[in-house]
Amino acid sequence: MKKLPFVTKEKAQEIIRTVPTPFHLYDEEGIRKNVRDVLSAFSWNKGFKEYFAVKATPNPFIMKILSEEGCGMDCSSYTELMLAEAAGITGKEIMFSANETPAEEYELANRLGAIINLDDITHIEYLENAIGSIPETISCRYNPGGVYETSNGIMDNPGDAKYGMTKEQIKEAYKILRDKGAKHFGIHAFLVSNTTGNDYYADLARTLFELVIEIKNDTGIKLDFINLSGGVGIPYKPDDEPCDIKKIGENVRAVFEEVLVPAGLADINIYTEMGRFMMGPYGALLTTAIHEKHTYKDYVGVDACAANLMRPAMYGSYHHITVLGKEDAPCDTKVDVVGSLCENNDKFAIDRYLPKIEKGDIIYIHDTGAHGFSMGYNYNGRLRSAEVLLKEDKSFELIRRAETPKDYFSTFDIFPEYSKLLK
């Protein structure tokens, strides 16, 4: 399927007159519509809730939009918890799914009334020491080990992953938690990232549903919720088949009715913690072509770099590129689209066929709405970009300004001799 930008060249030019490139742009209309589709796909489950994975797009303006549509927030660090609180999202609207968690993060999660998801059995005692008791509602993270293969053939290697508890540990953990006063229990597992097809959640659901029955039979503990976590993928490439969330919801429902309902567990709530699927397609990195270079290859140099979007450099990920205003021009020029880092992996595209790019062209890098801005860093003294929201009425709003050198130097503020860097 042809991938089209959610913004026109004219609109992008209008924004750039106020906010220079590079910046990440988000599409409010797309975000809201997608949440409604997700909620509708799982509406068969009365207690369904999507806890948006904050790490994907940690911006309070985005979080508020998702929250208005009915999402909770999945936080995994102290500052992500602070962000949720600042956005007015607290209590059971927060799932705290962290690992190797410091005590002060458990304290803050507990103070906010978040649902805490324990990554390991040893964290029961650690949590108790940190907050003085065990919360009434508590969740445990499961890792089935081995190699995980979905019916679609997608594989990952949970046995090699640092997360979660073994089956024996998790059963023991629920018993200990019950003895320490916990009353409501959940289970969580995250096994495969960026999945394609519509079977991953249903396959994971079957694994968890069967375990939930085993837990009930072995310990007498009846779980309240099952958290399928994240992992639903998006079509980064034009030829990728998009996931069909309606089908995904129906597939989970079929397993729910086959496995849980006959076991008398029809009132269990299903939760998800999607990041990529909620935001990925509804963000783009806009950058301007500022150089071209012809040596052993042909290069287009842009004003963004891997510090603004790390995925291509880090994972070799494909991000589709559209040259705004040249949507229908033939892609007959082979180039590398590169940023300014002193790192040869700072390439947004390698040997990509694109329309002939002129200096000044606006390059639209697709699908940066999740794990895009948030993975940014400051290597080479490069600064993080602004974030802009394209609203439903097509007006726009700056929702995070770009960093300035002052931000970069702010951690030298304890040294008077460097104060001039902070002016």
Ligand X SMILES: *Cc1c(COP(=O)(O)O)cnc(C)c1O
Which residues are catalytic, by number?
342
DSSP-assigned letter for residue 339: -
User: Of 19, 31, 41, 53, which lies in the binding site for ligand X, with binding defined by CB under 6 A?
Assistant: 53
Q: Which of 331, 324, 244 is CA-nearest to residue 284?
A: 324
- Contact call for residue 370 and ligand X (CB under 6 A): yes
User: Of 231, 235, 339, 372, which lies in the binding site for ligand X, with binding defined by CB under 6 A?
Assistant: 231
User: Of 24, 49, 55, 171, which lies in the binding site for ligand X, with binding defined by CB under 6 A?
Assistant: 55
Contact 117, 97 (CB under 8 A): yes
What is d(CA 249, CA 308) in angstroms, rounded to the nearest whole number? Answer: 34
- Contact call for residue 317 and ligand X (CB under 6 A): no
What is d(CA 193, CA 276) in angstroms, rounded to the nearest whole number? Answer: 9
Contact 23, 402 (CB under 8 A): yes
Each residue 266-305 as x (binds ligand X by CB under 6 A) or -, in order, gives -------xxxxx----------------------------
- Contact call for residue 367 and ligand X (CB under 6 A): no
CB of residue 52 to ligand X, shortest distance in Å:
9
| Residues contacting 363, CB < 8 A, separation 6+ | 286, 287, 288, 289, 300, 302, 321, 322, 323, 324, 337, 348, 357
When CB distances to ligand X are compared, the closest residue is 230
User: Of 45, 97, 251, 288, which lies in the binding site for ligand X, with binding defined by CB under 6 A?
Assistant: 97
| Parallel/antiparallel/unpaired status of strands 137-141 and 115-118 | parallel
* 3-state SS, residue 227: strand
User: Letter for the amino acid at 73?
Assistant: M
User: Of 7, 25, 56, 71, which lies in the binding site for ligand X, with binding defined by CB under 6 A?
Assistant: 56
Angle between helices 60-68 and 78-86 (to 10 degrees): 60
What is d(CA 180, CA 152) in angstroms, rounded to the nearest whole number? Answer: 41
CB of residue 408 to ligand X, shortest distance in Å:
27
CB of residue 8 to ligand X, shortest distance in Å:
28
Closer CB to ligand X, residue 225 or residue 396? 225
CB of residue 98 to ligand X, shortest distance in Å:
8
End-to-end CA distance of the chain: 49
User: Of 230, 312, 355, 376, which lies in the binding site for ligand X, with binding defined by CB under 6 A?
Assistant: 230
CB of residue 33 to ligand X, shortest distance in Å:
18
Closer CB to ligand X, residue 135 or residue 275? 275
CB of residue 341 to ligand X, shortest distance in Å:
25
Q: Which of 42, 4, 24, 50 is CA-nearest to residue 275?
A: 50
- Contact call for residue 38 and ligand X (CB under 6 A): no
Closer CB to ligand X, residue 187 or residue 300? 187
User: Of 77, 193, 345, 380, which lies in the binding site for ligand X, with binding defined by CB under 6 A?
Assistant: 193
Question: What residues line the site for ligand X (CB under 6 A)?
Answer: 53, 55-56, 74, 76, 97, 190, 193, 229-232, 273-277, 370
